Chains A and B, each alone.
Chain A
Amino acid sequence: MSDVRLPGGSNWLVKGIRTNWITIVIFIVLLVALAIFVPAFYQPANLLNVARQSSIVGVVAIGMTFVILTGGIDLSVGSILALSGVAMAMLINQGMVPGVAILIALLVGVATGIVNGIVVAVLKIQPFIATLASMVAITGLALRLTNGGPQPFNNIGDVFNFLGSGNVFGLPGPFLVFLIVAVIGILVLRYLPFGRFLYAIGGSPEAARLTGVPTRRTLVMAYAVSGLTAALAGVMTASRLGVGAPTAGGLANLDAITAVVIGGTSLMGGTGGAAGTVFGALLLAVLSNLMNLIGISPFDQQIVKGVVIVLAVLLAMQATRKRISDRRGKLGRSGSAGDSPSQ
């Protein structure tokens, strides 16, 4: 084995680009193609629209990244999004100050996330099942609180403007929120022991335990983060619409998971990061915007989206496989069971 260092091996930016290059290439190709074929895309108003469209899913996806890094999944984010929006709307209608109502709505998200985390980490229920159950229950709770009806509220004010629809420094408020959340996510994953522990647990749970990593607490915190970002997305959605709707969650869970996976975070846990997720969310938004611009019907859009997801993940997988086979070749060691000639 030689001592030659790969170029830029130490530089995290280069490394990040190297691990996410598939997403980045697709993204760039898409942007170039747009410039040529759909110049309307580059109208400032449209760009702002894309930014706004990416923000809600993006915020949810950043929190989802934390959970997926541990090898888990959070299906309940859509329901938390709805519940927190409903909670905020109802509290405001009862005369509460917006700031406090927003804070409580966020705490509702954190609390439901902690419950998810306890069910996963302490009761050892598989994350898929645990959050599927809480998704159903939380949706039920949101419907019960509102009797199934949307809760309109007075969303006039700077806070709602920022979170919902307004522009700050020429950028949509929600997009700024997304960027702030993304930067915090990237920093936490990179510079806090908590972030390091997420990767450790996702990659080698047994090694994490033996190394003294507080696995339960870390898992609970991961789901709490996901709950928090989902609730923030709920507050943003409600602020924009002026309504807290118990059905606002929609397919936010699937969109968020898609953004994370397209962004290069493995569903097996242990590898990936929030920067990739930002790209994933933007890519999804650009794609649906493009389809709107060229007049593809919403039904067909879903079909295209499904195909794109498979293609993106397929390409990402091939890149990973290549990295692994390069590694094997270098080592010259016998590989996994898949290399065995028997069977």
Chain B
Amino acid sequence: MNQSRFIPDDVPARTATVLAPRLEVIGLSKSFLGANALDEVTFQVEPGEVLALIGENGAGKSTLIRILSGAHRPDAGEVLINGERVDIAGPRAAEDLGIATVYQELSLFPDLSVAENLVFGAFPGRGVIDWRAARREAAEFLAGLDVHLDVTRRVRDLSIAEKQMLEIAKALHRRAQIVILDEPTAVLGGEDVDHLLALVNGLTKHGVSVIFVSHRLEEVFGLADHYIVLKDGRLTGAGRIADTNHDDLVSKMVGREFARSQRSVNETVGQVVLEVEHLSQDGVLDDISLTVRAGEVLGIAGLRGAGRTELARAIYGVDPVSSGVVRVRGEVVTNGSPLRSIRAGIGLVPEERKSQGIFIALSTAANIPIVKMLKRGAHFVRPAAERALALFYKEKLRIKVADVAAAVASLSGGNQQKVVLAKWLDAGVDVLILDEPTRGIDIGAKQEIYQLIRQLCEQGLAIIVISSELPEVLSLSHRILVMHHGSAVAELDGETATEEQIMIHAVGGKNNV
């Protein structure tokens, strides 16, 4: 250090940037209505480093992100970028300071092309936009990041993964030095996650610092250098990823010892309830047969695009099939309708909870009875009974809801999912198909949902769990069906299967086993 004063003038500046962390957060606090959302949080991120930000929903992650992206002002504490104290007065200021945040809900223009989105606001040309130059610039920029996208494609036609990569590329195009990724992988399937993680890895080589928020701890271990854990707005853990492990992080998040879940031990697996024979849908599903017995969980694994959701929808009668038979307790329900399936005893907890699972503008009390109402062909709505029912399920499923008459939009993801489950429990089902039941749900609520699935299984329901999270499939399922490219390529025993085994089949390598 002493040497630095003998170094020529231009060097100290450089040294300063090398020595000062890219981002330093000191004693940051924020409270809403007297409740501490963030309480004296201190951490730092070095250039080219990936910091994992971990915590349950409501732990303060979002508040922290919002402060860094200029959406909230902190009550106390300071933020330093490259050693300089900064004031992130608003979103624009954040962008000028080189902080870019990529949310799950992306901010791209769906009807503009990749190139138009990338250069938006910084168009080449004088007065008139030089589109040829814009396309060239976009193509070169993306190629430099190793992102392979046709720049003339409309963003609407891109996959979610491609959109996210474009969103990140856009941030870099604006010379972001700090990229905050808010649960980027929550909505992605296996191979897309790998692409995204590779891109993030590439960023760090350019000296970009990344703050990575994820519920998937395995990704954190693969990607991050350091981690911080928030719980109730406080920092409950920080350090090098290399010095920690899965269970340690989880216990810091939930503040208690965490036991890995186990599938329900059901000695009395009953009769076959759901039978699917040779189900095909042109270009989507190819000759799929499966059975599920009462008291059994069938896991369905596979990469995104393997046809898992399509299979669920076909069984449930949403989308027509070209051939094959679906039977519930012997009754043929092939090519019916959701209502037909509901009456036969099938329930579906769909993949997109907010748009497909619940009625977001309706209250908890109005959401729960709607399936039963349809199933029974009810003549009247009885608000008082609905309220009582909602309070019953609030208690039974431990739904955290302040007012069952308020719109479910105000509930957290996990509680919304419980409302979806309550809807099916109330209607009474024999077969329950759950498509990505814990996507975007925090670990505590996840455990509760797992617990619930096991209880239902023990009560004799036939359950199908579709999930991109292999630990989830492995821990819940008695049998696991692996899909690849619209076909069922393997059936594994839930007791003995491993993640590796599932992946080998999922990527289509069955001949190598």
Give the interface of A toward B (CB within 8 A): 1-6, 9-10, 12, 15, 190-193, 195-196, 199-200, 202-204, 206-214, 270-271, 327, 329-337, 339-343
Give every chain A residue within 8 A of B164 (Cβ-Cβ).
none
Among A5, A193, A204, the residue within 8 A (CB) of B381 is A193
- Other than the given A204-B359, A212-B342, A270-B359, 11 more pairs (CB < 8 A) read A1-B402, A4-B402, A9-B403, A9-B406, A191-B380, A193-B374, A196-B366, A213-B370, A341-B69, A341-B92, A341-B101
Q: How many angstroms between the C-alpha atoms of A267 and B291 in the bound complex?
A: 46
Given contacts A199-B359, A199-B362, A341 and B95 within 8 Å (CB-CB): yes
Among B94, B370, B383, B400, the residue within 8 A (CB) of A12 is B383
Q: Are B63 and A332 in contact (CB under 8 A)?
A: yes
Q: Are B374 and A212 in contact (CB under 8 A)?
A: yes
Give every chain A residue within 8 A of B410 (Cβ-Cβ).
327, 330-331
Give the interface of B toward A (CB within 8 A): 32-33, 37, 57-58, 60, 62-63, 65-66, 69-71, 91-92, 94-95, 99-101, 103-107, 120-121, 167, 170-171, 174, 182, 316, 318, 337-339, 341-342, 348, 350, 352, 355-362, 366, 370-371, 373-375, 378-383, 387, 400-406, 409-410, 412, 423
Give every chain A residue within 8 A of B402 (Cβ-Cβ).
1-6
Among B103, B360, B375, the residue within 8 A (CB) of A204 is B360
Q: Are A206 and B355 in contact (CB under 8 A)?
A: yes
Q: Are A343 and B120 in contact (CB under 8 A)?
A: yes
Q: How many angstroms between the C-alpha atoms of A202 and B402 in the bound complex?
A: 25
Among B57, B95, B104, B182, the residue within 8 A (CB) of A342 is B95
Most chain B beta-carbon contacts within 10 A, residue among A192, A270, A329, A342: A342
Q: Are B358 and A207 in contact (CB under 8 A)?
A: yes
Among A193, A210, A337, the residue within 8 A (CB) of B356 is A210
Q: Are B383 and A195 in contact (CB under 8 A)?
A: no
Query: Smallest distance from the beta carbon of A198 to chain B beta carbons, Å?
Result: 11
Query: Smallest distance from the beta carbon of A148 to chain B beta carbons, Å?
Result: 45
Q: Are B405 and A10 in contact (CB under 8 A)?
A: yes
| Chain B residue at minimum C-beta to C-beta distance from A330 | B410
Q: Are B91 and A340 in contact (CB under 8 A)?
A: yes
Give every chain B residue within 8 A of A332 (Cβ-Cβ).
32, 37, 58, 60, 62-63
Query: Smallest distance from the beta carbon of B70 to chain A beta carbons, Å?
Result: 6
Give every chain A residue within 8 A of B91 (Cβ-Cβ).
339-342
Query: Smallest distance from the beta carbon of B84 to chain A beta carbons, Å?
Result: 19
Among A10, A212, A331, the residue within 8 A (CB) of B337 is A212
Most chain A beta-carbon contacts within 10 A, residue among B37, B95, B373: B373
Give every chain A residue within 8 A of B381 (Cβ-Cβ).
190-193, 195-196
Name 11 A/B residue pairs within 8 A (Cβ), A-sorted: A1-B400, A5-B402, A196-B381, A204-B360, A210-B357, A211-B338, A335-B105, A337-B103, A337-B107, A341-B92, A341-B100
| Chain B residue at minimum C-beta to C-beta distance from A196 | B381
Among B32, B71, B373, the residue within 8 A (CB) of A339 is B71
Give every chain A residue within 8 A of B375 (Cβ-Cβ).
212
Given contacts A1-B400, A342-B95, A212 and B371 within 8 Å (CB-CB): yes
Among B101, B182, B318, the residue within 8 A (CB) of A210 is B318
Query: Smallest distance from the beta carbon of A343 to chain B beta carbons, Å?
Result: 5
Given contacts A193-B373, A212-B337, A342 and B92 within 8 Å (CB-CB): no
Give every chain A residue within 8 A of B341 (Cβ-Cβ).
212
Q: Are B374 and A334 in contact (CB under 8 A)?
A: no
Q: Are B105 and A336 in contact (CB under 8 A)?
A: yes
Give every chain B residue within 8 A of A343 (Cβ-Cβ).
107, 120-121
Q: How many angstroms between the C-alpha atoms of A270 and B366 in the bound complex?
A: 12
Q: Are B361 and A204 in contact (CB under 8 A)?
A: yes
Q: Are B355 and A212 in contact (CB under 8 A)?
A: no
Q: Are B70 and A341 in contact (CB under 8 A)?
A: yes
Q: Are B94 and A341 in contact (CB under 8 A)?
A: yes
Q: How many angstroms between the C-alpha atoms of A202 and B337 in the bound complex?
A: 20
Among A1, A190, A193, A334, the residue within 8 A (CB) of B103 is A334
Q: How many angstroms between the C-alpha atoms of A71 and B316 in the bound complex?
A: 26
Give every chain B residue within 8 A of A211 (Cβ-Cβ).
338, 342, 370-371, 374, 423
Given contacts A209-B338, A212-B374, A332-B37, A342 and B387 within 8 Å (CB-CB): no
Q: How many angstroms between the C-alpha atoms of A209 and B371 in the bound complex?
A: 11
| Chain B residue at minimum C-beta to C-beta distance from A10 | B405
Q: How many angstroms between the C-alpha atoms of A24 and B278 in the bound complex?
A: 61
Q: How many angstroms between the C-alpha atoms of A2 and B382 in the bound complex?
A: 27
Given contacts A4-B402, A5-B403, A196-B366, A337 and B371 within 8 Å (CB-CB): no
Q: Are A190 and B106 in contact (CB under 8 A)?
A: no
Q: Are A329 and B66 in contact (CB under 8 A)?
A: no
Among B359, B379, B403, the residue within 8 A (CB) of A6 is B403
Q: Are B361 and A199 in contact (CB under 8 A)?
A: yes
Give every chain B residue within 8 A of A209 (Cβ-Cβ).
318, 338
Most chain B beta-carbon contacts within 10 A, residue among A191, A196, A337: A196
Q: How many angstroms between the C-alpha atoms of A208 and B120 in the bound complex?
A: 37
